[in-house]
Amino acid sequence: MNQITVISPDTAEKADVASNTRKVFIKTYGCQMNVYDSNRMSDALASEGYVPTEEMGEADLILLNTCHIREKAADKVYSALGRLRDMKRTRAEHGRELMIGVTGCVAQAEGEEILRRAPAVDVVVGPQTYHRLPQALTRARQGERVVETDYAVEDKFDHLPKVDKARARARGVTSFLTVQEGCDKFCTFCVVPYTRGSEVSRSVSQIVDEALRLVDSGVREITLLGQNVNAWRGESPKGGEWVLGELLYRLAEIPGLARLRYTTSHPRDMDDCLIEAHRDLRVLMPYLHLPVQAGSDRILKAMNRRHTGAEYLRLIERIRSARPDIAMSGDFIVGFPGETDQDFEDTLKIVEDVKYASAYSFKYSTRPGTPGAELGSQVDEAVKTERLERLQALLLRQQKEFAEACVGKTIDLLLEKPGRMPGQLIGRSPWLQSVNVDAKESQIGDIIQVRIIATGPNSLFAERAGS
């Protein structure tokens, strides 16, 4: 769930903007969960009269919804805040207000420190408290500099407005839906258990209700999100406990919902029910993001991943026998403290064994407060760079091989948005690849059959099947 930098897209709502309406610009760093949170913040601010804008220059409120997963992410936020300070000063000289807020995981981790380092910031609101953003802005307008990073006792989702159908429609035919937050796994490299807190699952009724609203507004594909999504647990409507697989069976019954996905999963929480859901549910797309992080058992143990490389491979075998066409994706970290050349070779070996359709890979980044930061034997930066290049070359080769194997196949394509060329749309394959095809804009939201005819650097090209 990485490497996305998105500027909040709710453009369609700009239409009926009254000239005195306040505008909010949200810059989203990090993972899909932050994209979801930005949309929900935008919804919460709508009731305060804010409309979203994609032009930072015209905003009355700028929010940086931040990510703290790697070191550079926080650095980027501080340098963005430096630029915003200048913008706020220029605005003040012209007698116009500009409010600045920091939300998300950097807000949670740094709290008051942000106010100290960035005097232009008015509000700092953590990921568990963003339902309190409107009140925080009111207090800031009265002259207070607000930090809201306590874990809220009340359920954030109970206090947020329900997903607005017109806004959901404007965002497109695919949607994220957060079902679980936080993590209890405590991998030794990771800040998530500290910034997002311990695992909390949303209830079945909240999730089903939100999914129904999304589908009702025209959404065809829903991706369930969680830091550790397959640790989701909920009370079954008939009593007893449901696991994620059971939730998927329930959501698959929603008429009009054509596709389901979920991310990100931990190998230890891939239970039989979830694997059976992949076997049974046609709406559950044959794509699974299942990070292994490293191939060496010694490093996996030091990372506290709680499984071995062989166990991971056996798990993938079981998943593939349930759903043979499933595409595997993963995350990798190179240069965890103490990683030797042999350990790194073990990572390459597991990649060779699995054959990934796509993957994300990173150099280990020391996170203060995590056990990994206390370990000696940190790996030299140049060694990390060299290992990352080798790993990425292998992963890229596998991604290309997977894409090339699609050429000639007839597949279902969910048409999502206009393409770069006139008369072209971009859709998603079941395996999450972008596919370009000639089609009319009125067909957005349709699932059509296409034949893949060629591969490009980041996408595939297709023609209508039968043409």
CA angle 170, 172, 178 (to 5 degrees): 105
CB of 260 to ligand SF4, least distance (A): 21
DSSP letters of 14-37?
GGG--TT-EEEEEEEEESHHHHHH
Contact call for residue 270 and ligand SF4 (CB under 6 A): no
CA angle 210, 213, 215 (to 5 degrees): 110
Label each residue of 403-445 as H, E or C. HHHHCCCEEEEEEEEECCCCCEEEEECCCCCEEEEECCHHHCC
Q: Which residues make Cβ contacts (< 8 Å) with residue 164, sequence separation at least 6?
A: 43, 46
User: Between 184 and 463, whose beta carbon lies closer to ligand SAM?
Assistant: 184
| Window 281 to 310, contacts with ligand SAM (CB under 6 A) | 291, 293
| Window 246 to 275, contacts with ligand SAM (CB under 6 A) | 264, 266
Residues contacting ligand SF4: total by CB under 6 A: 10
| Window 227 to 246, contacts with ligand SF4 (CB under 6 A) | 227-228
SS3 185: coil
Please report, as a single letter, which amino acid is at residue 127: P
Contact call for residue 302 and ligand SF4 (CB under 6 A): no
CB of 147 to ligand SAM, least distance (A): 23
CB of 290 to ligand SF4, least distance (A): 11
CB of 190 to ligand SAM, least distance (A): 4
Helix (H) or strand (E) holding 330: strand 327-334
CB of 293 to ligand SAM, least distance (A): 6
Torsion of CA 433, 437, 443, 449, to 10 degrees: -70
Contact call for residue 192 and ligand SAM (CB under 6 A): yes
Contact call for residue 266 and ligand SF4 (CB under 6 A): yes
Contact of 64 with 101, CB cutoff 8 Å: yes
User: Between 329 and 433, whose beta carbon lies closer to ligand SAM?
Assistant: 329
* CB neighbours of residue 264 within 10 Å: 23
* Interacting partner of 203 out of ligand SF4, ligand SAM, none (Cβ under 5 to 8 A depending on kind): none
Tokens at 160, concatenated = 């947020």
Print the binding letters for residues 171-210 with ligand SF4: x by CB under 6 A, - otherwise: ------------x-xxx--x-xx-----------------
Q: How far apart are CA 15 and CA 13, in angstroms?
A: 5
Print the binding letters for residues 18-57 with ligand SAM: x by CB under 6 A, - otherwise: -------------x--------------------------
Interface residues with ligand SAM (CB under 6 A) are: 1-2, 31, 69-70, 189-190, 192, 227-228, 264, 266, 291, 293, 331, 333, 362, 364-365, 367
Interface residues with ligand SF4 (CB under 6 A) are: 183, 185-187, 190, 192-193, 227-228, 266
